[in-house]
Structure formats: C-alpha cells, structure tokens
Amino acid sequence: MINYILRRTVLLLFVMFSLTVLAFSLAYLFPGDPLVNLSGYQEITVNQLAFLELKYKIDDGIIRQYLAFLERIFDGDLGISFNSQSAIFEQLSRIFPATMELAIYSLLISTFFGIPLGILAAYYHRKLPDVLIISSTMVGYCLPVFWWALITIMVFSLQLGWFPSSGRIGLVYEVPYETGFLLWDILQADIPYRYEAFINALKHMALPTFVLATYPTTVLIRYTRGSMLNVLETNFIKTAKAKGLSTWQVLFHHGLRNALLPVIRLLGLQFSTLITLAMLTEVIFSWPGIGRWLIDSIYQRDYPAITGGLLAVSTFVILVTITSDVIYKWFNPISRTHVDD
Amino acid sequence: MTLTQRYKTALSSTALVLCCAAVTSCGAPSTSSLYDNSVVYCSEGSPVTFNPQLGSSNTTADAIANTLYNTLVSSNYETGEFLPELATDWTVSADGLSYIFNLRRNVKFHTTDYFTPTRHFNADDVLFSFNRTLDTRNRYHYVGGGNYRKLLNDSVVNIKALSPYQVQFELNHPDSTFMSNLATDFSVILSKQYADQLYEEGAKNRLDKFPVGTGPFKFREYKRDELIRYYRHEDYWGQARPVSQLVFDITKNGSSRIAKLLTHECDISAIPLPQELPLLEKRKDISVVKKTALNVGFWAFNTDKPPFDQILVRKALAHAINLDAIMEAVYYNKATKADSILPPISWGYHRNEQPIQYNPHKAKQLLEQAGYPQGFDMTIWAPQIQRDYNPNAVKTAELMQADLARIGVSAKIVTFEWATFRKRLGNGEHDSVVIGWSADTADPDNFFRSTLSCAAKSSGRNRAFWCNDEFDDLLSSARINTDTHSRKSIYRKAQGIINAEVPLFPIAHTHKFQAHLNNVQGIIISPYGSISLAEVSKSKAVEEGANDD
Amino acid sequence: MIDYNDYQDDKNHSPSRQLWLLFNESHPARIGLWLCISLLLLSILAPLISPYSPYEFDGSALLMPPAWADEGNVDYMLGTDDLGRDILSRLMNGASLTFGLSIVSILIALFFGLILGSLAGLSKGVKSSMFNHVLDLALTMPSLLTAIIIVAVLGPGISNMIWAIMLSSLPQFVHAIRNAVHDELQKEYVIAYRLDGANMTQVLTHAILPNIFEQIIVVATMAISNAILDIAALGFLRLGAQAPSPEWGAMVAESLDQLYSAPWTIALPGVLIFLSVLSINLVGDGLANALKRRLER
C-alpha cells in the first residue's frame, strides 16, 4: 500500500509539474506582453515596471521565471484580474465553495436516488421495472445539460413559478461570508430573517442541483446495476442462494457490500465530470461559482484570470481523482495486487 | 465545521429541497417582511465607477447618480424648468457671465463604515467637486484617470465661495447650456471632508470606489457583475422616504432579466427586450412604462479609413441598408425610424425632406462611381451589450451584412465585451460600427458635440472620426447664442452638412421602456435614458394569484 | 431477409455476421441505427434538400410558430427565428455541423489513437508504465473541460473547436487501443503468428487490428456521443461555432432572447441534439451487448 501511495504521489507531482508548466506558458501563448499576462497590470507605470520586472524575473531565463511563478503559486499569488483589478487567488477561494456546494449536493442526491434504483433494476433484471429504469437513464444520459437546464427553468420557474430562475439566494439577504458554503453560513450567521434566508437559499438551490444531479444519477444507476449483476453471478452468491437465503437477503448481506465498492470509486471519478457540467449549469442559473467566472474570463479575454481558473479547476479535478483512487485501493486490498490500470 | 455537521446540513437541505418540490405552496413568491422593505433592480451591467463625474454611460448613472448623490439643481423633465436641490435659489448677472447659488443648510453626508462626517454640507464641498474636474492642479484631478465629461470646461473660468453657503460661478462667455449641464448626473457634489481624510490616509483611489454623498441612499457593498447594495440614508434632507434597502441585481442577459421579473426575483427590470413587451403587458402583476427618450441609434463609418473617406462610398452603403427590415426584426416596430441624428422630440429637430432611401440599385451605381464596382471587404463592429437605442446591435449588424452582400460588399461582424469594445473603438480600429447616443441634456448641442465634433474626434468618442470645420463653427456659434429661434436655424444648417456628408447613417430613435412589479412606486425615468430610484418605495406584496397569468 | 427460426444456421455465420444478427435482435439498437443513418444522410444532403438557405432572411415572416400552431404557415414547417430564417432549413444544415463534425473529428482522433495506442501497446518497461500513468490522468480530465481549456488558449471558433474535440477525445482511444493490443498480444494465435516469423507491423495489421476492430467501434460510438454534446455545449457557450452558424448549440444560444415569445426556437435544436446523442448511444449499447452475447455463445 505504501508503495502504491508513493507511486501515486510521484505521479501527482509529475502531473502538477506539467500543469504548472502549461499554465506558465499560457502567459507567452496568449497575445500581448507576458509580463502583463502574468501580473494582470495592464497599464504599468515606470515605477511599477521596475518592481514587476524584478518580481516576475522577466529579464532572467525562462527557468528562473518559471521558478518564480511556482513560488508565487505557493504564496497564493496568481496576479490580478484584468477585468476587476483584484487578486485572482482571493476571488477563486471565495467562489470555489459555491461550485463545491452545488457539486456536493448534486452528488448526494444522485447517490440517494441512483444506488437504490440501480439495485432495484438489478433485482428485476430484464423485467418491467428494469426496462423502465434503464430507458429513463438512457434519456437522462443523452440530455444536453444546458438545454435541460433551460427546459427546467421554463417549466418550474416561469410556468409554474415554484422556484427562482437564477442565483444562489435572494439578494436582499445579506449573509456574512464565513466558509462560503451558503447554507452553513446562514445557519451560523447572526442575522435577522435567518430562517427566511435559509428557505430562500434552498429554493434557489433546487433547480440547479436537480439539473446537475441528472447525469450522475443515470451513470450511478447503470453502474450500480451492472456491478450488482456481476456480483450476483459470482459463485459465493450462488452458494448463498443455494443455502436457501431469500433473494433480498442475498442482495443486502452479500451483494450490496461487494457491489458498492466499485461504485464508491466511480463517485470519485464522477466528480470531475460533475465539475465540468457544473460549469455549464452555473452559466445558465447565474450561479456565482468558478465555472461562470472562468467562462466570463474567457469572454473578456482576461488572461491572468483564465490561467488561474484553469489551474485551480484542473488541479482540483486531478486531486479528487487520485484521492478517490487511493481510498478505493485502501478499502479494497484485492485490487492492489492487480496491475493498476 | 466537522464533517458530520456538514453532512447533516447537506442532508437536511436535501430533505427540504424535496419537500419544496412536493409542496407547491412553498415556491410561491416571497411575501416576507424583508422583501417588503427592499427593492431589487435588475440592471443591465456593472457601473464603471461610483463617481458619476467619471462615467459616461447610463448604466453607471442609473446605479449611482441619483441614489447616492445630489446636484446643485435638477431639471423637471417635462417642463424643462430648473428646480432647487442642494442650491435653494440662484441669481444670474445681466451679462450672463456670473451665477450665484445659495446653498441648502443642514444637509448631512452619509455615515458609513468607512467615513463619519463631522460637519454639514457647505461651499467647500461644491468647490472641491467642481474643481476636481475643472482644475488640473486639484490633487484629485488625475485620480481615476482624469477623463471627465468636460461639459463645463469651455465656459467656466472660476468658482469661488462668497460665504460658507454661497458660491459664485464665473463664465468667460454666455453659455446657454450652463444650467442644464449643472443639472446633469455628472455635476454631483462630493464630500471634501471625506476626500481630505482619504488624502491623509494615502488612499485617494477609494474616493470613487467607496462613495460618500448626500443622496437618499448610502453605499453598503458592491460585488462586480453581481450586486450593489445600498441602505437608506436616514438623515436625508429631502422629502423622499424610500425603502430601507436597494439592491442592484446585475444581470447582463436580457432574457434572464425578464425571467427574474416574472418570478418576482426583481422588482424592476432595466431595458426589457422589445419582443417580450407584449408578454409583460399581459401580466396582471407587472406594469410596463413607456417614455419618450432623447437618443439615436446609428451606423458610423470610420471616415479616417479608405474607402470610407469617400462620401460616395458612405452614401452607397447607406442606400444598401433595408431600414424597414431592421425596424421590424430588431426593434419589433417599437421605435421611430430615424432620418436625422436628432430625435423628433428635440426642439432642434428639423425634418429631413430627403432621407436616404433603401435602394440597392442606386447603391451599386454609387459604388461604381466611387471606383468600387467589385465591392470590397469591411468590418461592422457591434457591441454585445444591450443599449436603449439598440436592443440587439449584433442582430442589426447581421441584417446589414446580408444587405451589403447584395451590393457586393462583404462584411465581417466584430464584437467584444463592452469595456474592450469601447477602448478599441476609441483607438479607431473599426471600419464601421453600429452604436448610438443617449443624450445627457435636452440641448441639441449635446447630440452634435458629443458624437460628431472635432473635439470628440480627438477624445475618440466621435465614432465616425469625422471632423468638419464648418460644422464645428456652427456648433460654437449656436452655443454662445441664447435665442432659441436662431439656434434652431443654425442646427438646421449643421444637420444639412451631416445629410450631405453621411459620416453616419441614423437608424432609429427608441422609447425608453422599463418594467416593474405593480407594488413598486416612485421610479423616475429621465428622457436622457437614465432611471432614478431615489424615491422608490414599495407597498405590500403583489396579491397572490396575480402570478397565475 | 433474416430468418429468425433458422437458428442452426446462425452458428455457422461468420463472426461479423453473427454480430449483426445479434445486434439486429434488439429493437432499440435498430431504431438507433436507423436514426443514425438518417442523420448521417441529412448531414451530407442538407444543402441539397433543405427548402431555404439557413442564412436567408425573410423580413415578412419573423418568429413564425411551427405549422401546427394557429398562426403557423406551411411554408415554414417548423417556423422561423427572430430574423425570419427558416428553422427547418437551419436545423437540417446544422446536422452537418453538430452531428457530421463530431463524427469526422472522432474519426480523425481515432486514426491518431490507433497509431499511438498500437505503439504504446507494443512497448514495454518503465517508459510504457510512465506513459500509462500519464494517460490515466489525461483520461480523468473530462473532455469538455479539456476542450474549454484548448478553446480558451486558441480562441473561439469552429476550427479551434474541432482541434479541441480531437485532442480531448484522443486519450481514451490511446488507452482503449493500448489495452486491447496489450491483451491481444498474450493470445495464442498472435504468439503462433509471431513464431511463424511475422514482424510487428504484420502482427499488428494482420492479426491484432482486425480482432480488436469491433471493440474500438464501441469506444468510438461513446466518443461520438460525447463529442456531439461537447460541440453543442461549446456552441452554446459561444466558444465553438459562432453566429450565424446553424450549429444546434449555437442556435439555442442565439434564441435565448426568445425564451418566452418563441420557445420552439430553443426546444427544437435541443431535441435534435438529444436525438443524435441517443441514436449513437443506442447503436453503441446495442453493439456492446451483441459483442458480449457473441462471446457468451
């Protein structure tokens, strides 16, 4: 296991190295002066210029510049945004929880529905419930998320008026920023109208969470079903059945535990897809998360912001993947002995 | 926060979401007390600054000018007469070269987290506010770039305090536009005490970012592209008792603004899309307000660049455009087709007897005469942002593109995000641009000088980069003239020059539309395109059931 | 015609014939295939058979609802958009962009995937192991995120978008082909072939590739369905195809302002995106099932 973790760490370091090299080279790939693209200062005065040149080691070799870039990343300095002229790192750390909140709740919802439905489908293999569940997952799987989001807005927000169409919370509520996880912040905050604000935030959350949960739910159903069917074919289950246990007993006592392990791994892998889909969802629901921020930066050709945003998102995705991989191996020693691919 | 706690929160929220989905009543429009005391305005963009002196777009003015600040005088939009605001009364010398204003007493500036005033408004504040823009030696002059709307610079030579509550403006020549310029959103009064405090702290930049004024609302917070929050200024001198909280929900997307209005997430929506107006008018809970406005949407040619330096080419291009199709597809026939840069409601307007007609055949002939029988390639720049004078410039450009293709001109549409767009336009990178002008004052001078004068060319605001000495002389002579009748005939001549030279092709004059929930009162729309929320208030929530429509 | 009763004969068919028969047994797969073929035909023939040009304005018919609505007109079967362009024609021409381009870019990516994957499958040792790890991580990057990164660097536009789609789908092909080649190399028939003196190129082209071809097709169908969604998403975000292109995602984005007055301008392109993804997935699923069942036999 230690060996495995060690290898994954080396890999992580290697990938992080490549990512930072890529992010650094973006400053040169984007149009304009690399110093401007790195620092985000568009109109540099003479005094500033000397200071910035020194800080960014722009007159030194590329290697030196890259090392200075790395150093700044560790200091949490990603330059400032062209657009807002404020520090990118701080902006990122403020909006990241919004995306996380959306993604985590969606993942919870999809787990809540996906796994039981998957088991149900496996139990009724090739019978009507299975066919129904599987065909609806096929539909959910093929929906373009941006279109699906628009349709839900049209129906639930505009036609029925059940939920608001955009944002995280009604703007009249002033919730002090603590963790960035809004629901938690509201519960912690000492503000008037707290309960009202909480309900309001939940209502805002409903549609985006639902839309975002659609895809992972379908994947989870299909995967749980497949995994369950595989386990049910194995010999120890057949033995258990032969011993006279009921199908449900077999399913829960023997099947579930073994079928869920790969599902847990899938959850980790799904997280990266979820983040991407969250970016689209955020754009449509004006959810103030990293996706909307990054897409806006692309529209505005805000190069330092694009660089910072890409670095943050991809680092996060890779960290989650590797972590979930390691956790999976931890709980499932058998897989460690296999060739890991 | 521990992990278990977090999961508990998450789970309870999940459960509540599910409840909400099941119980429809839970999603009905909010009728809470906080909503009753707050007004949410869905605006179309972020303000550029929190100091109106520096900004020239309506988006900025809407958000800050009337809410946070006061001017010395204001003007009644209907009658054109001037009303006292921070000045209680004023006298003009017989030669028109000196104006003396008596100032209002006991006017308090905002008390905020970052500033606590210790004295009331007085003449020092007036001097500071005007000298900041007029006097290059003022220590705040270059803060924020020093790019002011120079409405008063030509005429005002000196401002002095005669007493703490009396100021005198000295002019070098009589200026018929002086009072209306004082009443614009640009002539606001800042706090000198606050400026001095910031100067000592070495934080001069904060003056335009964390504003202090005398207006009915005070600044609370601003998140770029997200929201602006104001609280009521409890010690406001005026009569207005607006709501306790005013929030600007910055929503750039036109259909999102409509959606938010329909779901009651906003109380007021800026620039509703013209195609959705019938839908809004049908709703029982929403009112649509239509006001005449002083603006013009036009297509300007960069006359510095060949072949657009040739009058024949500009005329040919103008003849190629099917204006009726644009009026239909872009404005949904809710605007007036323009035949001149001045809108018909302006007193300086004179009907153009021979407006340029849609005539592709003639366009081709003119192109041949100009020496381009094969046509040429060009760019049409169009901003993505929605403007009063053009709800969809990109769509306008697409229609023009198709029209131009018929006379052999191949056009490419160029668009950028608004700030970048304006910067590049100022550099003259475009061949032609679909843009327009919303007037700041009712004076025709504002239209001509801002869009086509040589001075506007050097500042980059003249999108046609067109400079005609004869035209400029006419403008100057009209400005020192105080007789409306003779000014009118001068402007008629000026328009004649524009008609002959076609530096730009006027498209449309629009009405100003604005939609709001029925329980919101006190919204004032100026014909110059801006909206004032200084007196906005709200009665009890809209009745339930109104939403069924 | 296929005779289902003649089961005995079935076993004597060639493997690909068996596959086809098994595939054909599934109704969804058959429907998917028909849908797929019609969309493919549409992508090729759209300019010839569409009633109008996708860019042609008709100022007298703005925002016409589809023909079945009260104010509809048979001249414009699916109505018109806000510039009076015929939606039917735009949708038909959009097929070659959203559907056609995704297939083309995946085929190109597949070609390079074959080369890289075979090379990787044939190589051994530390180099190969390192390569595998990097590949694994490249795979964890969702294709849309990779595509957005690439477009962010290269700038928006349809050609940059194709590059992005190709590059982001490449890792999965390399991965799948590498694994398949790797597995196949261990099999006896390949070893026998090699003992006969065949060199690596021959082994690859004559023995391995024909045998892994079917698996690769399954991977490719999944990649195509992803590519359609990605192209549409990029178009919707205005990072891919730009207005006035009739790409379906871009059409949805262009119609956003008509969300209330003309919902069909948003609904219809979305339905087509959905149908094309569905058809490809049905075919892919059907193929995968058929392969599995052939193996079980």
Q: What is the pLDDT of residues A142-175, one digit of tens each?
A: 999 999 999 999 899 888 889 998 888 888 888 8
pLDDT in tens, B216-275: 899 999 988 888 999 999 889 888 777 889 999 988 888 888 888 988 889 998 888 888
Q: What are phi and psi of B220, to 5 degrees?
A: -120, -60
Beta-strand pair B377-381/B531-532: unpaired
Q: Which residue of B has its CA nearest to A194?
A: B34
Q: Is the dihedral of CA B124, B127, B130, B131 positive or negative?
A: negative
Examine the pLDDT at B142 and tell me if it is beyond 50.
yes
Percent of the residues in chain B that have a pLDDT greater than 70, as a whole number:
89
State residue B58's pLDDT score: 63
- Asked if the Cβ–Cβ distance from C261 to B398 is below 8 Å, we say no
d(CA A232, CA A234): 6
Arithmetic mean of pLDDT, C222-249? 90
pLDDT at A250 over 80: no
Contact state of C257 with B398 under an 8 Å Cβ cutoff? no
Of chain C residues 134-193, which have a CB less than 8 A from chain B?
none
CB-CB contact of B151 with B43 (8 Å): no
Q: C253-288 pLDDT, tens per residue?
A: 988 888 888 888 899 999 999 999 999 999 998 888
Confidence of residue C2 (pLDDT cuts 50, 70, 90): low
Partners of residue C256 in chain B, C-beta under 8 Å: 253, 255
CB–CB contact A275 C233 (8 Å): no
Instruction: Choose the closest CB to B259 out of A112, A165, A183.
Output: A165
How large is the ipTM? 0.87
Residues of B in contact with A155 (CB under 8 A): none
Q: Write down the pLDDT at residue C39.
A: 93
Judged by a CB distance cut-off of 8 A, whether residue C263 touches chain B is: no
DSSP B329-370: HTTTT-EEEPSSSS-TTSTT----SSPPPP-HHHHHHHHHHH
Instruction: Please name the member of C144, C225, C232 whose beta carbon is closest to the beta carbon of A276.
Output: C144
Q: Do B275 and C83 touch (CB under 8 A)?
A: no
Residue B520: helix, strand or coil by DSSP?
A: strand
For the residues A176-185, what does the mean pLDDT come to? 86
How confident is the model over A105-127, as a mean pLDDT?
89
Distance of residue A191 Cα from the nearest chain C Cα, in angstroms: 37
Mean pLDDT of B59-64: 68
Mean pLDDT along residues B326-336: 86
Q: Of B259, B279, B399, which is closest to C261 when you measure between CB atoms?
A: B279
Q: Do residues A222 and A134 touch, judged by C-beta distance below 8 A?
A: yes
Q: How much is the average pLDDT of B337-344?
A: 88
Contact A130, B32 (CB under 8 A): no
C-alpha to C-alpha distance for B231 and A45, rounded to whole angstroms: 37
**Is residue B541 predicted with pLDDT exceeding 70?**
no
Contact list, B14 vs chain A (CB under 8 Å): 105, 108-109, 112
- Judging contacts by C-beta atoms under 8 Å, the chain C residues touching residue B410 are none
* B2 confidence band (pLDDT: 50, 70, 90): very low
Residues above pLDDT 70, as percent of chain A: 97
Question: Is the confidence at residue B22, as pLDDT, over 50?
Answer: no
**Whether the Cβ atoms of residue B91 and residue B105 lie closer than 8 Å to each other:** no
Q: Residues 375..404 of B with a Cβ closer than 8 Å to C: which?
A: 392, 394-395, 398-399, 402
Of B29-38, B319-328, C131-140, where does mean pLDDT reach its minimum? B29-38
Query: How many whole angstroms separate alpha carbon B466 and alpha carbon B302?
Result: 8
pLDDT band at A268 (very low <50, low <70, confident <90, very high): confident
How high is the mean pLDDT of chain A?
A: 84
Q: Inspect the interface and report whether the beta carbons of A173 and B21 lie closer than 8 Å.
A: no
Structure tokens given for C224: 């195509």
Q: For residue B293, give how far its alpha carbon lies from the nearest alpha carbon of chain C (Å).
A: 23
Tell me the average pLDDT across A278-282: 92
**What is the pLDDT at residue B434?**
93
pLDDT for position B134: 87
Does residue C185 contact residue C125 with C-beta atoms inside 8 Å?
Answer: no
Rounded mean pLDDT, C138-144: 78
Q: Which residue's structure tokens are 């919707």?
A: C236
Q: What would the pLDDT profile of C51-62 be if each residue is shown by its tens digit?
A: 888 887 776 777
Rounded to whole angstroms, what are the CA distances from A203 to A110, A169, A197, A198, A219? 18, 8, 10, 9, 26
Q: What is the pLDDT of residue C35?
A: 93
Question: How many residues are there in chain A?
Answer: 341
Q: What is the pLDDT of residues C54-83, one digit of tens each?
A: 887 776 777 788 888 887 778 888 888 888
**What is residue C5's predicted lDDT score, i.e. its pLDDT?**
54
Average pLDDT over chain B reads 83
User: Would you list which residues of chain C are within 8 Å, Cβ to Cβ, of chain A?
Assistant: 28, 132-134, 136-137, 140-142, 144-145, 148-149, 151-153, 156, 179, 225, 229, 232-233, 236-239, 249, 252, 256, 259-260, 263, 266-267, 269-270, 273-274, 277-278, 281-282, 285
Alpha-carbon distances, residue B160 vs A187, A335, B169, B451, C175 (angstroms): 56, 86, 7, 32, 80
Within a 10 A sphere around the Cβ of B369, how many other Cβ atoms?
14
Mean pLDDT of C143-153: 84
- Per-residue pLDDT tens for B446-492? 888 888 888 888 777 888 898 888 888 888 888 887 777 888 888 88
Higher per-residue pLDDT: B420 or A314 = A314
Residue B27's pLDDT is what?
40
Compute the count of residue pairs across chains A and B with CB atoms less than 8 Å apart: 116
Q: pLDDT higher for A4 or B471?
A: B471
Residue indicated by tokens 């046609």 = B464
Q: What is the model's pLDDT at position B17?
A: 42
Q: pLDDT at residue C11 above 70?
A: no
Q: From the CA of A253, how many Å to the nearest CA of chain C?
A: 29
Report whether pLDDT(B32) > 60.
no
Q: Predicted confidence band at A335 (pLDDT cuts at 50, 70, 90)? A: low
Q: What is residue B437's predicted lDDT score, i.e. its pLDDT?
A: 87
Tens-digit pLDDT profile for residues A31-54: 888 888 888 887 777 777 888 887
Q: Which of residues 301-340 of B touch C (CB under 8 A)?
A: 322, 324-325, 328-329
Between CA B264 and CA A163 the distance in angstroms is 10
pLDDT of residue B11: 42
pLDDT of residue C4: 55
Best interface-test mutation with C: which of B321, B395, B404, B413 has the largest number of C CBs within 10 A? B395
**Nearest CB to B329: which of C62, C243, C260?**
C62
Cα angle at B351 between B350 and B357, to 5 degrees?
A: 140
CB contact (8 A) between residue C261 and residue B276? yes
Residue among B187, B97, B179, B125 at smallest CA distance from B150: B187
Output the six-digit token pair for C147: 């595509």
Is the pLDDT assigned to residue A20 strictly greater than 60? yes
B54: three-class secondary structure by DSSP: coil
Residues in A closer than 8 angstroms to B547, CB to CB, are 161
Q: Which two tokens stand for residue C78?
A: 């699916």
- With an 8 Å Cβ cutoff, the interface of chain B facing chain A consists of 1, 6, 9-11, 13-14, 16-17, 20-21, 24, 26-30, 32-35, 38, 40, 220-221, 224-227, 229, 245, 247, 249, 251, 253, 256, 259-260, 262-263, 265, 417, 419-420, 547
User: Could you report the per-residue pLDDT of A202-234, keeping only the tens digit for each?
Assistant: 999 999 999 999 999 998 898 888 888 887 777
What is the arithmetic mean of pLDDT over A245-257?
72
Question: Do B380 and B398 meet the contact criterion of CB atoms below 8 Å apart?
Answer: no
Q: What is d(CA B479, CA B461) in angstroms, rounded to the nearest whole number?
A: 20
Which chains border C (3 or more CB–CB pairs < 8 Å)?
Answer: A, B
Percent of all residues in chain B with a pLDDT value above 90, rounded to a whole number: 23
Model confidence at B29, pLDDT cuts 50, 70, 90, reads very low
Please answer yes or no on whether C55 and B402 come within 8 Å at the CB atom.
yes
DSSP secondary structure code for residue B111 in this structure? P
Q: Which has the higher per-residue pLDDT, A330 or B113?
A: B113
Instruction: Say what angle helices A194-233 and B3-22 make with each other, to 10 degrees.
Output: 100
Q: What's the sign of the alpha-carbon dihedral B431, B432, B438, B441?
A: positive
Q: Is B45 on the interface with C (CB under 8 A)?
A: no
Q: Cis peptide leading into C244, omega within 30 of 0?
A: yes
**pLDDT for residue A189:** 83
Residues of chain C positioned with their CB less than 8 A from the CB of B324: 59
pTM of the model: 0.84
Predicted local confidence at residue B23, as pLDDT: 38
A partners (3+ CB pairs within 8 A) are: B, C
- Smallest Cβ–Cβ distance between B329 and the set C59, C243, C244 belongs to C59
DSSP state of A157: I
Q: Examine the pLDDT at B10 and tell me if it is beyond 50.
A: no
Q: For tokens 């011993």, name the residue.
A: A243
**Chain-centre distance for alpha carbon C296:** 28
Is the model's pLDDT at A58 over the cut of 70?
yes
- Whole-number CA gyration radius for chain A: 24
